[in-house]
Amino acid sequence: MVTRIGLVGCGNISDIYLTNAALFRDIDIVACADMKPAAATAKAEKYGISSAPVGELLDREDIDCILNLTVPAAHADVSLAALDAGKHVYSEKPLATSLADGKAILAAADARGLRVGCAPDTVLGAGCQTARRIIDEGIIGTPLLGVASVLSHGMEHWHPDPTFFFKPGGGPVFDMGPYYLTTLVTLLGPVASVQASGQMGFATRKVTTPGSPLFGEEITVETLTSVQALLEFESGAQITFLASWDVWRHGLQPLELHGTLGSMRVPDPNWFGGTIETAVERGDWQAQSTSDLVFGAANYPAAQPAHANYRGLGLADMTRAIADERPHRASGALGLHVLAVMAATLEAALSGSRIPIAERCEQSAPLGESEAAALLSSSS
């Protein structure tokens, strides 16, 4: 059964969701809305859908689920309003910018018997799912330790309005952290505790994005822009998590794991595919491409594809799960757990304390090739 989707938030990320919607059998984005009516009108005309004010869209009877692509600070308000209107919700990451709001979203959904899904769904791509299979098959043994690194010099050189990246609810932990932390939880299970330290590397950031209306303006930094954390998992694995927008250049892998029998390099968690490298004991690295797997082939950007980008996959899995009456993988519970880990990371960095994670989740079921292919439309 096709689920009718209403999209709220017509910013940069909306194009890939609207483009990818046609790939999936069970979703149909029928309308969009934005606090800026002109943005919704332009997006509706580009993709051949209708537009409406946010309140009207939430109340429409021909919409089953809201795709919440608003800025992070608005995630909770829009998701709660959608649930109050009787709609399922799938939200861009993070689930909310505070743990209290995240809990409120899941409580509202439970009270109404509705589903909540949350990005990132990159963990359902061929890269992360192949890494999950390698771990589940015991190829590297029991994971013991590793390093996850998301390091750059921020967003002010490419985003048209990077202001929110440097405000509370932004920063590298809340913005890019969900990709890395969700990948780690998918591979290793839930996090038990966090220790961390952090800093603001620069007091202000100058916008240098060509064509930005804010070009040349200074943004006051109000959140940590560098964090070094130690994550201890319920499984016993210990992972160093490095997240910084104060780094000009580096040579670290996105994610490297070390087990009792070998080691593994996992591709960039921001994308759905990539090459996985494994080394058993003292052997050489062996590369394994995922480009021939479902949701592993490069498709983005369209003109010169360099990355596998299938955003919307988590929404497609959620809508199929509703019909099949099974748990969905990019779930609200997973989003809440990752939110709790991010909040604890910042708290630990500011307090110097070890913070236990009370909001746990179950490790999601693997997404096999046949089940992944079944999510595609017949024309894909």
* pTM assigned to the model: 0.96
**Could you count the other beta carbons within 10 Å of the beta carbon of residue 336?**
23
Angular region, 168: left φ>0, alpha ψ -120 to 50, beta rest:
beta
Question: What is the chain's pLDDT, residue by residue, as a tens digit (380 residues)?
Answer: 799 999 999 998 999 999 999 999 999 999 999 999 999 999 999 999 999 999 999 999 999 999 999 999 999 999 999 999 999 999 999 999 999 999 999 999 999 999 999 999 999 999 999 999 999 999 999 999 999 999 999 999 999 889 989 998 889 999 999 999 999 999 999 999 999 999 999 999 999 999 999 999 999 999 999 999 999 999 999 999 999 999 999 999 999 999 999 999 999 999 999 999 999 999 999 999 999 999 999 999 998 999 999 999 999 999 999 999 999 999 999 999 999 999 999 999 999 999 999 999 999 999 999 999 999 998 77
Compute CA distances 379 → 12, 24, 30, whole Å: 26, 9, 19
Q: What residue segments make up the domains of the chain, in order of their start?
A: 3-118, 123-296+332-356
CATH architecture of the domain formed by 123-296+332-356? 2-Layer Sandwich (3.30)
What is the CATH code for 3-118? 3.40.50.720
Q: Is 144 helix (H, G, I), strand (E, B) or coil?
A: strand
Alpha-carbon gap, residue 67 to 369, rounded angstroms = 25
Contact between 295 and 273 under an 8 Å Cβ cutoff? The reply is: yes
3-state helix, strand, coil in the chain (%, to 5): 35, 25, 40
Nearest Cα to Cα of residue 227 among 177, 302, 301, 281: 177
CB-based contacts of 60: which residues, under 8 Å, 6+ apart?
6, 31, 52
Q: Is 280 helix (H, G, I), strand (E, B) or coil?
A: strand
